[in-house]
Amino acid sequence: MTSFREKAKSELMTIFTAAVAAVDPERIVKQWVQVNDELAQIGNCSFSLNKVGKLWVVGAGKAAARMAKALEEILAKYLAGGIVITKYGHGLPLEKITVREAGHPVPDEAGVEATKEILRLVQSVGERDAIFVLISGGGSALLIAPSTGLTLRDKQEITTLLLNNGVPIEQINVVRKHLSQVKGGQLARHAYPAQVFSLILSDVIGDPVDIIASGPTVPDPSTFKDAVAVLHRYHLWDRLPPRAVRFLTAALEGKQSDTPKPGDEVFSKVKNFIIGNNYQALQGAYQQAKTLGYRTLILSSSIQGEAREVARVLAAIAREVVRSGNPLSPPACIIAGGETTVTIRGEGLGGRNQELALAIALDLQGLDNVAVLSAGSDGTDGPTDAAGAFAFGDTVARGQNKGLDAQAYLQNNDSYHYFKAIGDLFQSGPTGTNVMDLQIILVQQPEN
Amino acid sequence: MTSFREKAKSELMTIFTAAVAAVDPERIVKQWVQVNDELAQIGNCSFSLNKVGKLWVVGAGKAAARMAKALEEILAKYLAGGIVITKYGHGLPLEKITVREAGHPVPDEAGVEATKEILRLVQSVGERDAIFVLISGGGSALLIAPSTGLTLRDKQEITTLLLNNGVPIEQINVVRKHLSQVKGGQLARHAYPAQVFSLILSDVIGDPVDIIASGPTVPDPSTFKDAVAVLHRYHLWDRLPPRAVRFLTAALEGKQSDTPKPGDEVFSKVKNFIIGNNYQALQGAYQQAKTLGYRTLILSSSIQGEAREVARVLAAIAREVVRSGNPLSPPACIIAGGETTVTIRGEGLGGRNQELALAIALDLQGLDNVAVLSAGSDGTDGPTDAAGAFAFGDTVARGQNKGLDAQAYLQNNDSYHYFKAIGDLFQSGPTGTNVMDLQIILVQQPEN
């Protein structure tokens, strides 16, 4: 069993690495943007570099610096300059593009200042210029510009209020876009009439461009009236900071311009491209698993739901592979991705991937030939130093040998300490990209 | 959309019908037991009908009468007689086998009396005789023989106590087997030294023969000591009916014989056969879906977990079919089975299949080409007159048109009334078999 575990871990890591490589920010930017013979090609769009004005780069997200680095190389002499914002510790020294670091997941004043720089830049570019906007996970917190008269603190207070009062995320976003100068298509308005190419690395299920980083270059159908209606619906209007009430009251009286709507002319100059997503990572995993000799199946790139319940379904599929060779016969690799949630009931340490791995281990007990890795594609999982964890048919038994009760650890949401104790944490370090999570299930033939 | 829905419903019903037909009790008994030229064949066992003594049939479960009917036909003149117990309304007039009806899911005195008849019969058969034991879902409540000195009421009181105090089902079973004269291999002991052939239609995930109908012909590794330990662990010993305390105290002193253990000689004369299970039903569905022209995948026959969370994973897979053609490209049929659970928080009416269908509808909103049926293979779902329900991409929208909020109905566990209002209940009537639940997902090509 030890040798099976070690070999399976090694293969799971190889597959994970291939998945992450398939959405490497530098690589995918270079796939999407090419310059040949004075012609720039972005996806299926192209323009002559002799006819365009200057080229600029702005952006925000955990992968912003690496995406910017690639663009600096591709655009080379054609690049005029730019500013991107990334999370603390994720910066890179670039030549023409300024990289600012700021707070994430909690936004800070550094983010506000850097966003001001971006807004000044895009407002100053000429009509014939083109701006590349680089969007990746975390962009919503990093690209932050409270509406005139509001402070960062006001916005945070309102977000906390919305989160704590059961407001669904779609409705929270309606409010947030209306307390911002940059979200909900407003960056595109500031950039108008320059040409905008948005390159988006998606960290949201289904790749909804209006949700990823709050859609700075995407039309927003919602209105100030909708935002105020949400606040009334949840009885939060009277609990808003006074500045927010003044701002929204003025906005309702038409004293503020609303976010740009679908059909607004600013979007005639905008192209949004999803250049990387969870599905691409799954495809990378798929190719690698095939190379390793596995029959391979991509189950879904939009897995969601409570982590421990999702685990039960994945375990049921693994059991069926063992039992009847469905949906694939061994050696089989089943690949899934998306983003689960964890309803925290305990006081332990973990992340949604480690929780999923612990739950699946409980359902895989006694299966000798199954190995699972659940991990965040960015190399992190919850507030831990792990990206995820490995699960095997003997994960529960090896815990018992050390006096650990896997079920009790799961109840306490303490998956991190369980996996740490048995040596099955997956610690990849930061991967430089972020397309949510991956689950990789290997089922070997019985004789292995 | 209407014509798509009608066609999809019709195909889903055809596939469901094929699934149920594949585990039809009469059909599978006839597949497993054959008589040719004085030779009886049961699976891979055979014996000469000239050398054996008399042949008897006993059994219990919702499908018991139909299984017995098939055996009457197969064994014909070789059959001496027998007694089977089935649920009220599930009886059939047979010639040589007495069919008793009794209470299910709550056992009653009719079950106790009929079980006494069965015990008297099996104790009276000769060493050279053979007994066919027919086991199907519901057998645990129908084949009921409280230990000497206990009443049915005592047993029910204890079961309620165990269920209400968070005792896991495995430990509940340990206690129940030790308050019974028939569960946990004890029917086999009563039948010894006759030859026993147990034909089991499984209604439990993974087909654990010791769990299905509480394993009347299967060794029980657990002891009276284990049963008493469970009662102490959950602080229930002092809350037991006095007769149970007296019985168990005497048992601990060795005054009662324990359930027969693995290796016990009584099992040298017992063969247990799983003749039907959820996987077989899925295979029936698979063949029918192929015939209808679908690319088809069996996902798992052991799906478990909270119904609404399982729904999210199944919806994610359906979405991937639409989005990328994984794990199959349309026209695709994905088949799953097992038994989900519902944590009741509301006050509505429904069953786990209807709840799953309502939850999946919420995640399928806007998909034009997807149709789902979740249904109990026995034709019932919860305390309703439906077997399950159909879900489509417009299930939520059609409810809205009638002023119904699907999310609110789900929160209130009121899936039955939602589906009744929009006309998407699946009412098959009793199917005569029971191998848990089925989920069938159809994804058509966009042009359909």
- The full set of domain ranges for chain A reads 4-16+279-443, 26-145+180-222+259-276
Asked whether the CA dihedral B164, B169, B173, B175 is positive or negative, the reply is negative
Dihedral, CA atoms, B29, B31, B33, B37, nearest 10 degrees?
A: 140
Q: What are B85-136's pLDDT values in tens digits? A: 999 989 999 999 999 999 988 899 999 999 999 999 999 999 999 999 999 9
User: What are the pLDDT digits (tens) for A291-305?
Assistant: 999 999 999 999 999
For the segment B301-332, what is each residue's pLDDT rounded down to a tens digit? Answer: 999 999 999 999 999 999 999 999 999 999 99
Q: Which of B297, B302, B320 sits opposite A302 (nearest CB)?
A: B320
Nearest alpha-carbon partner for B311 in B410, B408, B386, B397: B410
d(CA B308, CA B354): 10
| Residue A170's pLDDT band (cuts 50, 70, 90) | confident
The residue in chain A having the minimum alpha-carbon distance to the alpha carbon of residue B318 is: A300
Closest CA relative to residue B104, chosen from B71, B138, B127, B76: B138
pLDDT confidence band for B164 (50 / 70 / 90): confident
Average confidence (pLDDT) over A293-318? 98
Q: Is a pLDDT exceeding 80 seen at residue B179?
A: yes
pLDDT value for A185: 97
CA torsion angle A156 A160 A162 A167 (round to 10): 130
Most A-contacting residue of B278, B320, B323, B341 (CB-CB within 10 A), to test interface: B320
pTM here is 0.92
Q: Which of A279, A300, A316 is the closest to B303 by Cβ?
A: A316
Average confidence (pLDDT) over A231-251: 95
Contact B300 A319 (CB under 8 A): yes
In single-letter form, the type of residue at position B7 comes to: K
Q: What is the pLDDT confidence band of residue B448, given thresholds at 50, 70 and 90? A: very low
Residue A166 has pLDDT above 90, yes or no: no
CA B285 – CA B21 distance, rounded (Å): 9
Q: What is each CA distance from A201 to A276, A278, A428, in whole angstroms?
A: 5, 9, 20
pLDDT at A448: 47
Q: Say whether A297 and B326 touch across the interface (CB within 8 A).
A: yes
Q: Is the pLDDT of residue B167 over 90?
A: no
Residue A1: predicted pLDDT? 64
Chain B residue numbers with beta carbons less than 8 Å from the beta carbon of A323 are: 279, 301-302
Task: Tell me how close the Cα of B437 comes to any Cα of chain A, in angstroms.
Answer: 14
**Per-residue pLDDT at B1:** 64
Check pLDDT > 60 for residue B168. Answer: yes
Predicted pLDDT of residue B412: 97
Long-range contacts formed by B173-177: CB under 8 A, 24+ apart:
B173/B211, B173/B214, B174/B222, B174/B226, B174/B227, B174/B230, B175/B227, B175/B230, B175/B231, B176/B214, B177/B214, B177/B215, B177/B220, B177/B222, B177/B227, B177/B259
Q: Tell whether B323 lies on the interface with A, counting CB pairs under 8 A.
A: yes
> What integer best gives the mean pLDDT of chain B?
95
Residue of B nearest to A306 (CA): B309
Q: What's the mean pLDDT when you consider all of chain A?
A: 95
Check whether A447 has a pLDDT greater than 70.
no
Nearest Cβ partner for B309 among A309, A324, A326: A309
Question: Could you give the ipTM of this predicted complex?
Answer: 0.91
Q: What is the mean pLDDT of residues B218-236?
A: 96
H or E element in which residue B46 lies: strand B45-48
- pLDDT band with cut points at 50, 70 and 90 for residue B151: very high
- The total of other beta-carbon atoms located within 10 Å of residue A365's CB is 14
Domain A4-16+279-443 belongs to what topology? glycerate kinase, domain 1 (3.40.1480)
CA B318 – CA B443 distance, rounded (Å): 7
Beta-strand pair A270-276/A195-201: parallel
Judged by a CB distance cut-off of 8 A, whether residue B320 touches chain A is yes
Q: What pLDDT was estimated at residue B414? A: 98
For B337-349, how does the pLDDT look when each residue is reduced to its tens digit (9 = 90+)?
999 999 999 999 9
Domains B4-16+279-443 and B26-145+180-222+259-276 share a fold: no
Q: Is residue B328 within 8 angstroms of chain A, CB to CB?
A: no
CATH topology of domain B26-145+180-222+259-276: Rossmann fold (3.40.50)
